[in-house]
Structure 1
Amino acid sequence: MADELTLYTNPMSRGQIARWMVHETGLPHGVVVLDYGTTMKAPDYLAINPMGKVPAIVHNGQVVTECAAICAYLADAVPERELAPPPADRGDYYRWLLFAAGPLEQAVITRALGMEVPEDKEAMAGFGSYDRAVAALESWLKDHDYVAAGRFTAADVYVGAQVIWGTQFGTLPKLPAFEGYAARLLEREAYRSAKAIDDALIAEMRAAAPA
């Protein structure tokens, strides 16, 4: 029996990350596009994700939410694609995947909301400071083409999405290490095919929106 995979998403969301990861796996899948405030908050979807947000996947009856978890789960679901390093070599893989999902995203969102952590309260914040979080990732990418195993892995989907989006929209500085890393990822066929679908859906939504 073929694997059954369904992606729940909205093109104007972090669902773009999950779609990219799904395309990296090559798995056949269905897609359900949900609307904010309506189908995303409907009882049938809340039964999948009580947070009422996307993305989520259901794979062979298993529900997975949160983009970093989706990336890690799907990498393990298709070992033949080698989207995760061997278990004994996953230190950097888990480190940077969860760094991007935790300290980096917290730092970026905090800055975007116009909030700064007082210096004497940095120990209470998981990211310390925005500058420190950015510098940590920059220092790694200066010396590594990819975040783990010397090659592309599922961690690069999540970390890469943060860097691509951040450098394009100004939430991350356009540092050479970030721009070089983003350029490598933008050439991936799975990224391009997933992005084309989401861009087309966004165009349709905007065209259908009331003037």
Structure 2
Amino acid sequence: MSVDLIFYTNPQSRGRIVRWMLEEVGVPYKTEVLEYGTTMKAPEYLAINPMGKVPAIVHGGRVITEGAAICAYLADVFPEAGLSPKTAEEKANYYRWLFFAAGPLESALSNKAVFKEKPEADKEMTLGYGNYRNTLDALSIAVKANPYIAGDRFTAADVYVGSHIGWGMQFGTLEKRDEFVDYFARLQDRAACVRAAELDDALVKETSEA
């Protein structure tokens, strides 16, 4: 049987977000593992993603890159998985916090991880997220408001936001506030999340032993 969905990733990358989303969706897909600096920068892959970065998917010949976009796309084209927002209230929260995580939150956490210093106050206006403290305070509001990001139901936005919260707490770029710990605890035992982690961890082990 031919597979209509190809997943390009590396198990030590943001591809883990998309792996989780694919396992939530539950459709067949083929995994293509790329290596940093070699196959990720090869002409064949640059024709798919000129950035030379993962993750990316090709579905029915259509290319989708960027983790948040892939999560939203998969939720939309596979509605039977029930991961898209349904009500107007869910849609408002879903799109607000999904793109908050893809923009301000990721930038704030990445800058903290790489530069480990606070920008000068007069430079904050040039940053999309302003400052780290305000970004975390906004995230606290998001996870306190409802059991899940969009409301009472788990959606694709939880895959993306939850991944950033889980990684941030694991690697020390996100404070372990009680609300973050409680929110992520509701996600990490989901069968798809566990399955995805096992698949990627096996790939890490396989490549390290090769």
* TM-score range for the pair, normalised by the shorter chain length: over 0.9
Paired residue secondary structure (1:203)? helix
The yes-or-no answer on 1:8 pairing with 2:30 is no
Q: Is contact 1:48–1:63 with CA below 8 Å preserved after alignment?
A: yes
Query: Structure 2 unaligned runs (5+)?
Result: none
2:55 match: 55
Q: Is contact 2:3–2:30 with CA below 8 Å preserved after alignment?
A: no
1:196 match: 198
Structure 2 CA distance, aligned partners of 1:144 and 1:117? 32
Paired residue secondary structure (2:186)? helix
What is the CA distance between 1:2 and its match in structure 2? 7.8
Amino acid corresponding to residue 168 of structure 2 in structure 1? G
Q: TM-score, normalised by structure 1?
A: 0.94
Structure 1 residues 35 and 2, CA, compared in 2 at 3 Å: closer, same or farther? closer
State the Cα deviation string for residues 47-87 of structure 1 (Å, max 9, x = none): 00001110000011110000000000000011111101127
Structure 1 CA distance, aligned partners of 2:142 and 2:28? 34
Amino acid corresponding to residue 90 of structure 1 in structure 2? K
2:92 match: 91
Structure 2 CA distance, aligned partners of 1:193 and 1:138? 28
Structure 1 residues 74 and 48, CA, compared in 2 at 3 Å: closer, same or farther? same
Q: TM-score, normalised by structure 2?
A: 0.95
2:72 match: 72
2:154 match: 152
Paired residue secondary structure (2:150)? coil
Structure 2 CA distance, aligned partners of 1:2 and 1:147? 35
Q: Which runs of 4+ in 1 moved over 6 A?
A: none
Query: Structure 1 unaligned runs (5+)?
Result: none
Paired residue secondary structure (2:187)? helix
Amino acid corresponding to residue 106 of structure 2 in structure 1? E
Paired residue secondary structure (2:73)? helix
